[in-house]
Structure 1
Amino acid sequence: MPLKRSMPGLIFCCFFVVSYFSNKYVLSVLKFTFPTLFQGWQTFVGGLLLLVSGKLGWVEINNFSRSAALSWLPASLLFVGNIYGGSRALSRLPIPFFLILHNASEFVTFLIFKLVQRERTSWIKLFSVSVLLVSAVSLPLYDPQFDPGGYAWAVIHFFCVGGYRVFQKSSHLSDLEQQYINYLFSVLLLAFAAHPTGDLFAAMEFPFLMSYKFHSGCCASALLGFLLLLATVKLKSVLPVEHCGAWVFLAKVLAACLSPFMFDIVVNIPTLCCLLSSAFGEALLVYSERIAPER
């Protein structure tokens, strides 16, 4: 019985880790650093699979009004910034370092809600998001392979993630409806951006373009991204928000711990301390949400 209750969380963790690894493989090992094409492909496949799944009745996507879709477009723009900046950053940074910077988005979300709603916050939550921010700010100072471009894109990524999370918590659209609009908007925007950014012509000279490793890696990353979406929605539907946070934390720990076995990473004592402090901050954040769940 406990295993059955844990199954959605375990499936989510598996898809989370494998999805990150497949993206990292295409971006870093194969060096396909053309995010307008890579993310455009992923969002196109994700949108197509979501549409087909909805038509077949495998997932439920309710009809939503045009005004609801239009009101979600600012969030979709942040979503594009999230995946574009995330691709750029992940191609240059190790997965554990990327996750530390990603965790700093919690501070952005916390700050926006604090300024807008002016609600009282527990000292535990304030301390936890502060630890996440300090860990992210300290990391580039001690990174032995400091890449200014990677960290710059990571900053864009976590600001977009933090802002996007605010829209998520205040929207009446379901997660699948939000993602469906995101997919449509992303495909259109990234398709138009492929030429001005130069990605379209640069990709034509990509050495692995006709390689089965490249095609299998891109197909796997797109499919795994869609399966991760379904696993996330399933997890949220069967567990309270605070319990979902615990599974997300576990998935990040697994991805960070397993990534050195798959990809090259250089860690020193200070960066290891940043990793541990970020993990501590996120664990404390999950605990603060369990004892005082947000409305």
Structure 2
Amino acid sequence: MQWKRHINGLAFSFVFVVSYFTNKFVLSVLKFTYPTLFQGWQTSIGALLLLLSVKLGWVEMSRITRSAALLWLPGSVLFVGNIYAGSRALSRLGIPFFFTLQNSAHVVSFVILKLVHREKLQWLKFISVGLMLLSAISLPLQDPQFDLNGYLWAVGHLVCVGAYRAFQVQYKSSLLSDLEQQCINYLFSVLLLAIAAHPTGDLVGVWEFPSLHSYTFHGGCCASALLGFLLLLATVKLKSGLSDHCGVWMILSKVFAVSLSPFIFYMDMNVLSLLCVFTSHCGEALMLYSDRES
């Protein structure tokens, strides 16, 4: 059957949507706004599950050398900035708005790679970048529930995501697989977030959190950590099985999340803000098309 070829894509899309919805639930509904602890918990569980999976032979991962880990260190720093700022932004912004701004990370990686490689400009890619940038700039002006801090954290998030993608392209090393890169990211994140927990006040403030002893809170945090790890495995599986369709499934997953989120989480949208969301995803689809044509 034709649909069996895309079972990895369907699995990825399901885990993607459920993972973001779970994180949004913990961050916004339960209001657990302690990102060093939340992300530290997720990355520590992710690291443990990844190492356990390697030990049991479920996934393959080579021994990581010290030199390879040091070369990848800038990527790990950007990864920490990505998840920290992303948690802050997601706790304050609706999922459709969050993805609209996140799509603008393509603009950051596009500019960085153009400055480095100075390749010939492709008009389709230039138009797609322009659509995503225009949507991101216009969205705060049209948001009925404008939150300045949320948008500032989203800017930090998209800059880190875009720089991380550009670094991955520049790195171009066969020394580290995707799983090995993520393992370094996990271990570095646990260390850095543990150090930052007290200076940021999260370590002290969490004890005053009213839902700390709630079963719903514990269930949400455990689910978010497990889903984050499953999303990693689903992403790696998708890249290895349907590499040509990976970008398509990523866009479809975002569209599914954007379409379903208003039925699960309350958010105030108007026609103009919805147009920004639509234009941004059209821009990302156009960029994917231009990459295939080039």
Same fold (TM over 0.5): yes
Aligned partner of 2:224 in structure 1 is 221
Aligned residue for 1:184?
187
Give the match for residue 123 of structure 2.
123
| 1:50–1:180 contact (8 Å) kept in structure 2 | yes
Q: Cα distance, 1:260 vs. partner? A: 0.5
Matching residue's letter, 2:200:
T
What are the equivalent positions in structure 2 for 1:89-108 lying under 5 Å apart? Answer: 89-108=89-108
Deviation readout 1:61-108 (Å, 9 max, x if unpaired): 111221110011111000000000000000000000000000000000
Q: Structure 1 CA distance, aligned partners of 2:123 and 2:224?
A: 39
Task: Return the TM-score normalized by structure 1.
Answer: 0.97
**Residue matched to 1:24:** 24
Pairing 1:45-84 to 2, within 5 Å after superposition = 45-84=45-84
2:286 alignment counterpart? 284
Aligned twin of 1:275: 277
Offset of 1:60 from its aligned partner? 1.0
CA–CA separation in structure 1 for the residues paired with 2:40 and 2:51: 16
Q: Over residues 259-292 of structure 1, what are the superposed CA-to-partner deviations in whole Å (9 max), with x where a residue is unaligned?
A: 0011001111110110111111111111112222
Q: Which runs of 5+ in 1 are unaligned?
A: none
TM-score in terms of structure 2 length: 0.98
Distance (whole Å) between structure 2 residues aligned to residue 220 and residue 284 of structure 1: 34
Q: 1:242-261, aligned counterparts within 5 Å?
A: 242-261=244-263
The two structures, once aligned, show a CA RMSD in angstroms of 0.8
1:265 corresponds to 2:272: no
Q: Distance in 2 between matches of 1:6 and 1:121?
A: 33
**1:289 is matched by which residue type in structure 2?**
D
List gaps (5 residues or longer) in structure 2.
Answer: none
Identity %: 65
Residue identity in the other structure for 1:140: P
| Between 57-66 and 207-216, the greater mean CA deviation after superposition | 57-66
Q: Distance in 2 between matches of 1:184 and 1:261?
A: 36
1:142-192 superposed Cα distances (whole Å, 9 cap, x missing partner): 111000000000000000000001122233221100000000000000001
Q: Report the AA paired with residue 285 of structure 1.
A: M
1:142 aligns with 2:145: no
The residue number in structure 1 matching 2:235 is: 232
- Contact 2:103/2:281 (<8 A) preserved: no
Query: Which residue pairs with 2:178 in the alignment?
Result: 175
- Structure 1 runs, 4 residues or longer, greater than 4 Å off: none
